[in-house]
Amino acid sequence: MTDPQTPRDDTDPVTAIRHIGPAQAEAMARAGILTATALRQMGADAAYRAMVSAGTQPHFIGYYALHMALQGRPWNDCKGDEKTALRARFDALKADLADLGDDGALERFLDQIGTGNRR
C-alpha cells in the first residue's frame, strides 16, 4: 500500500494527504490550492495565510490541524510546547494579516455592500 503522505503526482488532490477533509479542501480550493503537491510546497503557514486571505475565518484548531496533517499526524496529536509554539505563530499570522488590512471574507463583503472598513 502507498503511503498517503508520499506525493504520487502533481495532480493528487489535497485530500490525498491524510487528515485533510472535504471542508479544509474546499477552503484550500477557494485559495487556489488544488493539489497535494502545491500544498506541500507552500507549507502550512503560507497555505493558511492564503486560505484566510481568500475568506476562511481564522481558527487556531484549523491552523494547527493543517500543520499536523502535513506531518502525517492526527489533529489532536498537537500538545504541550509544540501547541504553545504553534499558538504564538498563529497569533503572529493573524496580527500580520490584520496589519495588512486583510480580515478575510467579512471585510470583502462589507466592501462589496459599500460600508467600508470596520472601525
Q: Summarize pLDDT for 39-98 with one digit per residue, the tens.
A: 999 999 999 999 998 889 999 999 999 999 999 999 999 999 999 999 999 999 998 888
The H-or-E segment that residue 86 falls in is helix 80-99
pLDDT-based confidence at residue 99 (cuts at 50, 70, 90): confident
The CA angle 58-62-67, to the nearest 5 degrees, is 120
Number of folded domains that form the chain: 1
Segments forming the whole domain that contains residue 84: 14-112
Q: How many CB atoms lie within 10 A of CB 4?
A: 15
Q: What is the pTM of this model?
A: 0.75
Residue 105 has pLDDT above 90, yes or no: no
In angstroms, the CA 47 to CA 43 distance is 6
In angstroms, the CA 116 to CA 100 distance is 15
Q: How many CB atoms lie within 10 A of CB 29?
A: 14
Establish if 119 belongs to a structural domain.
Answer: no
Establish if 3 belongs to a structural domain.
Answer: no
* Cβ 106 vs Cβ 98: under 8 Å: no
